Amino acid sequence: MEMTAQEWLVLLALGGGCGLTGQVARMVIGLKKLWSDSADMQEAERKLSPARLMLSLVIGAAAGALAAVVTVSAAGKVNREEILGLIAAGYAGADFIEGAIKKRLPAG
């Protein structure tokens, strides 16, 4: 199926937004776990990095956009399952990409 540039942009924006949503859900769960597991609140706050959080959001959006290009069949006809799949792609894709980066880059 051929799509116009406008349809591609809408599809990428939809996928990016859904991926971002999935990553926000992942961050909320991670932050809750960090704060509930940490006895020292200052230690928990020290572990937070605004730059790392923003990078994580960008990775989630990119994972959702890539998933949209691969999975969504038509720009005007997106069903609920596809939307949920894109959100899951942002959640799981960001987790996968961040894990791969941590293995390849030195600590610190």
pLDDT tens across 23-73, in order? 999 888 888 887 777 666 676 677 778 888 898 899 999 999 998 888 876
79-103 pLDDT tens trace: 888 888 888 888 888 777 777 777 8
Local structure of 79: helix, strand or coil: coil
Residues contacting 22, CB < 8 A, separation 6+: 60, 63, 64, 86, 87, 88, 89, 90, 91, 92, 93, 94
What is the spatial distance between Cα 102 and Cα 104, in angstroms, rounded to a whole number?
Answer: 6
CA 99, 105, 48, 61: dihedral to nearest 10 degrees? -50
